[in-house]
Amino acid sequence: MARSAGSDSAVNEPATDTQAGMPRRIAEVQRWQFEVAPERLQSVWENHREACTALANACEIIQANLALRGPDQGARSANLQLRVARDQLDGFLGR
């Protein structure tokens, strides 16, 4: 089950792409929180990470963290921060 943990707008605020040195505009920022059973958390996190990777240049992983409890105990917490091209967002969320 997913729920939005908040939504902020930053329309037309210039940001600098550190790799290309090109200005870009961030159209929207969304924060989502997923509540997942510990035994499923790692696979859900991996699926989201792989969905981003499959989009190649249309999705960028900014930060990815997974904290495990121990062998066969599931994950304690996970964080995945992504940047997805606007024209690919609906497809990404649908996946």
How confident is the model at residue 6, as a pLDDT? Answer: 41
How confident is the model at residue 11, as a pLDDT? Answer: 32
Beta carbons within 10 angstroms of residue 6's beta carbon? 9
**CB-based contact 12:36 (threshold 8 Å):** no
How confident is the model at residue 9, as a pLDDT? Answer: 34
- Residue 39 makes CB contacts below 8 A (sequence gap 6+) with 74
Torsion angles phi and psi, residue 56, rounded to 5: 55, -120
User: What pLDDT tens digit does each residue of the chain (95 aa) get?
Assistant: 343 344 333 333 334 444 556 666 667 788 888 888 888 888 999 999 999 999 988 999 999 998 887 777 777 888 999 999 988 988 888 87
